[in-house]
A and B are shown apart, each in its own frame.
Chain A
Amino acid sequence: MSNLFDLLVAGLATGAIYALVAVGFTLLWQTSQTINFAQGEFVMLPAFLMLAAMHAGAPFWLAIILGILLSMILLGLAFKMLLVDPMMRHGVLPLAIATMALAIGIKEAVKQFFSAEASPFPSIVPTGDISILGHAVSLQSIGVLVVAILAVLGLTTLLNRTSLGHQMQAAAQNPTVARIIGVPVERMILLTFLINAFLVALASLLITPIYLAKFSSGEVLGQAAFIAAIVGGFNQVRGAIAGGLLIGVLDNLAAAYISTQYRAAVPMIFLIAVILFRPQGLLGRAEERTV
């Protein structure tokens, strides 16, 4: 029983990070029909930007700020202007393939300019345990969960409770009408790219101390987040959150109770089942677009 509790906490902590990345997936899809297959690499890169800042002499807190800002410029602004906008004219598929190429490009660049070997990365949460209901739970797991939940709450508040959020919703649901009523659709789309970049940088900050900074670490994350987004519902932010948490817990329980060798297969089987029996995702709605 105590083992199950530990597994649930660890699964939720990993799942919360998947959720952050999956939310980014859905945001980009909703506003610009971009399926970003480089999303995993987007999570890997900010850690290296922060490491580079630290190597240049910046303290950790400054490196975090610089890393997030640089990520928003490179993975938000530059990504949209240099890749998405020119490719979008050719349709969804060429753009998806272009993001695959970008994923390879980012990985190879990090390998070339940094190293093929893993590097350690400091944690924003101190190591140690606290006791919850008589169980020792690591501060790191709690810290990851809390930061991820705060980020998601902040995002949903922005989307549902502010005028800016309503404009983003309008731009996603019906860009033509939104334009007519004066919503700056282009700016709203850019904003979602910047939010995605912020979310992946945050995920990077949370996951890298555990997974280590390595050029290939985005592969697993990108795949898990993609599955999470589809399972939860590609057209719903809350679906992506639920999907992320579910995949994180499922992955850990499968590794513990089914087989370590087949742990990667279990979320895949779940994905196939969802596509067959509920193609819109667990929380998604058919034919609806909203952020």
Chain B
Amino acid sequence: MKSTLLVGALLTAITATGAFAQAIKLADVAELSGGGATVGTNWKNGIDLAIEEINAKGGVLGRKLEVTHADSQSNPGVARAQVQKALDAEPYVLLGPGYSGSVKVTAPLAAEAGIAQIMGGEAAELTQAGNKFLFRTSFGQQSSMPKVAKYIHDDMKAKTVAVVWVNNDFGRGGRDVVVKELDRLGSKVVADLSTEAGQADFAADVGKIKAANPDAVFVYLNEEESARILKELKRQGVTAPLMGETTLIGQKVIELAGDAANGARGHVGLTTDAPVDLIKAFREKFSKKYNYVPDHNGLKGYLAVYMVKATTEKMGKVDSKKFAETLHGLTIKAADEPGILMDVTFSDTGDIDRQSFLVEVVEGKQVVKQVLPKVK
């Protein structure tokens, strides 16, 4: 009896070990609670959806994908501890976090371990520190701001621009690039206004914009502050066209600002409203599985997993050490890998080049007005 049990246990162990070795292990660290819970939950659900799809079709190079999710609690300190724990388990690729601040403190850990990290942060500086293992899923400011400046100059025909930005790493990073680009194109910045994160009263700032009388206003604040300034701009009767990024025309801003958001325009790297068939199909699958419409973070998580698949298939083997090297300079076409949704090219720094969208808020809804092509 004893020996039968022993053989049984041994067999189970062997089978289990066999299956374990077969699966490709991914580790995800995301903002599953705290202030960034919406970001992290969308990202996680996107990852799970992609893995389910890939595994249903036989996995990557015949091996299934497996992921573990850890919660950073939207806190860089916790994110660092969770990433360290995840790296100790030697994953194939690290996914996340979504917040730039958390990426900043975890990227050196992944680089030291020689593990590629595919993340959701958008601050310009992240990919400028010479890290060879860090990859974006969306535009960094150095990719999106030139497109914004070009649109303000060419399409809005603005000769004078007021720039309002939030005084933190995110705001300053975006402001520096856009001001430089506007200057290069010949649009003059007539008001350069820094505001504070969490600022409630924008009467004085809008007063300054009014006094400067610009042809266009570029607004680069977080969502809540964007909503407050939109209301104040309307209250003080500023009629100059408004241009921003995802943070100016996001669904949350529209909900908070109400009517005041109408007419605001923004450059958006990823949106589930994009007039792209593959994105429409993704939105439908995601909504069916989770019963809500994902935001761009859902897209980012989904894309991260398909980046792993495409890169691994390009290498023809599962090689954690070669992964980052292969992804640098790689172009993935949606025709070859539909899961990547749009053609994308990765630079040597881990930045991406992809088509993007110009969105306008019309009667409380985001409407894609223009598709902006890849830069190269």
Contacts and interface: CB of A to CB of B under 8 A. Distances in A.
A62 interface: no
Nearest to A4: B207
Interface residues of A, number: 35
B210 A6 contact: yes
A210 B203 CA distance: 10
A226 B60 CA distance: 63
A7 B204 contact: yes
Interface string B253-265: 0011111000000
B234 A127 contact: yes
Interface residues of B, number: 33
Contacts of B224: 117-118, 212, 214
Given A117-B252, A119-B256, A211-B228, A140 B235 contact: yes
Given A211-B200, A214-B224, A3 B234 contact: no
B227 A212 contact: yes
Interface string B174-205: 00000000000000000001111010110111
A160 interface: no
A116 B252 CA distance: 13
A7 B35 contact: no
A217 B200 CA distance: 8
B208 interface: yes
Contacts of A216: 198
Contacts of B236: 6, 10, 138
A20 to B, nearest CB: 16
A272 B155 CA distance: 51
A260 B204 contact: yes
A210 B231 contact: yes
Contacts of B320: none
Contact of A7 (B38, B203, B232): B203
Interface string B30-42: 0000110010000
Contacts, number: 85
Given A14-B201, A220-B200, A7 B207 contact: yes
B316 interface: no
Given A6-B236, A136-B237, A217-B200, A261 B194 contact: yes
Given A252-B203, A256-B208, A260-B194, A138 B258 contact: no
A145 to B, nearest CB: 13
A260 B234 contact: no
B1 interface: no
A138 B256 CA distance: 19
A256 B208 CA distance: 7
A278 interface: no
Interface in B222-257: 224, 227-228, 231-232, 234-237, 252, 255-257
Nearest to A121: B256
Contacts of B210: 3, 6
B355 interface: no
A264 B201 CA distance: 11
A70 to B, nearest CB: 24
Interface of A: 3, 6-7, 10-11, 14, 116-120, 127, 129, 136, 138, 140-141, 209-212, 214, 216-217, 220, 251-256, 260-261, 263-264
9 contacts: A6-B203, A117-B224, A138-B235, A138-B236, A210-B201, A214-B224, A251-B201, A255-B205, A260-B204
Given A11-B203, A256-B208, 20 more contacts: A3-B208, A3-B210, A7-B203, A10-B236, A118-B224, A118-B227, A120-B227, A127-B234, A138-B235, A138-B236, A210-B201, A210-B232, A211-B228, A212-B256, A214-B224, A255-B205, A256-B204, A260-B196, A261-B194, A263-B204
